[in-house]
Structure 1
């Protein structure tokens, strides 16, 4: 359910774009994100900071798209969001000496400090690359191709990155069995 809720605005954006075009799709994405945040707030009493950031970015860039009647702004929205997330990880690591990936996942997974650091750098690089890739597709291809990439390419690359991350982490996660392997009867 949470996964569907997370992708709710982008799926509605995609459907609205295919049906009515970029401007209606942009308005739908803004409305869907507002509904998503309102639902989370009233249902769970808490909205994550990244979700607030996403709402701010879609309202700002979507609003600019609608006011200026220029699809350029909405095409920049994913890049800005990726770069803000990557920038937060970078600033956290370099300025505050805080690993935000570890802060998010540390309660679920016990990993050595170098692995957390590598994970933080990998996510930082991934977000930077996704921002560049979004702009490359936005400016090299037509809007229909960009929208398809936004849904299928962006989600597909994120899924591939998470799977690669899981494979990397599986080598470093400590076994939960407290019995030494050589002490078996």
Structure 2
């Protein structure tokens, strides 16, 4: 039987799982590279002439971001022999909009990427829950949380709304602040907000924990 290219359903016992810390590193690594590329773009251009041909710091950062995203997906594939669905979708958008950014030398496209990604994820999560009664969030957090179906549904609803809110925040930031501020906020703003939001969901996760339920 041909092995699936995409990650298996969370309920599939044959699904290969990545250590949560490694998974976090693969997701945050490209963002750190993006921030470094923008903040040290002139230094990189001076030491690597090929990068100077790409353009200013934001364009160098975009190129490195694209490369780091592809590398993260390749590492994930090497470890599990499957591709994670949500990071893959995000990676495709990064490559497409990053490519447009470099080709047209217009930073607008890379700034729109978080808006599009967050809107897409928000719509997918809410649509999967409302129309198909399926929690797509389990593909992201199944290795971290062991909760019942009701818990997954509530968590999916909250994350869907959160993603849509982050799309609005991105629009506000890039339209009203400098590129450097937007890049810094993309790494040091969105990431802490995601961590804070995740931590705020812990009471819900605790209430619906299967271990807690089974222990009663």
Question: Is the TM value for this pair above 0.5?
Answer: yes
TM-score in terms of structure 2 length? 0.75
Hey, what does 2:147 align to over in structure 1?
110
Larger % of helix: which?
A: 1
Alignment of 1:93 with 2:129, yes or no, is yes
How far off its partner does 1:168 sit?
A: 2.6
1:10 corresponds in structure 2 to 31
- Alignment of 1:31 with 2:52, yes or no, is no
CA positional deviation for 1:172: 3.6
Task: Please tell me whether residue 169 in structure 1 is matched to residue 205 in structure 2.
Answer: yes
Provide the aligned length of Structure 1 versus Structure 2: 178
- Deviation, 1:83, is 1.0
- Shift of the 103–71 alpha-carbon distance from structure 1 to 2, 3 Å rule, reads closer
C-alpha distance in 1, partners of 2:183/2:128?
32
Work out which of the residue numbers 131, 153, 174 in structure 2 matches 1:138: 174
Alpha-carbon distance in 2 for matches of 1:165, 1:3 = 18
Aligned-residue offset at 1:73 = 0.5
Distance 1:137 1:110 in 2: 35
Greater relative contact order (CA < 8 Å, ≥ 6 in sequence) = 2
Pairwise CA RMSD: 2.0
Pair 1:90–1:133, CA change in 2 (3 A) = same
Deviates more, 1:97-106 or 1:5-14: 97-106
Equivalent of residue 128 in structure 1, options 137, 145, 164 = 164
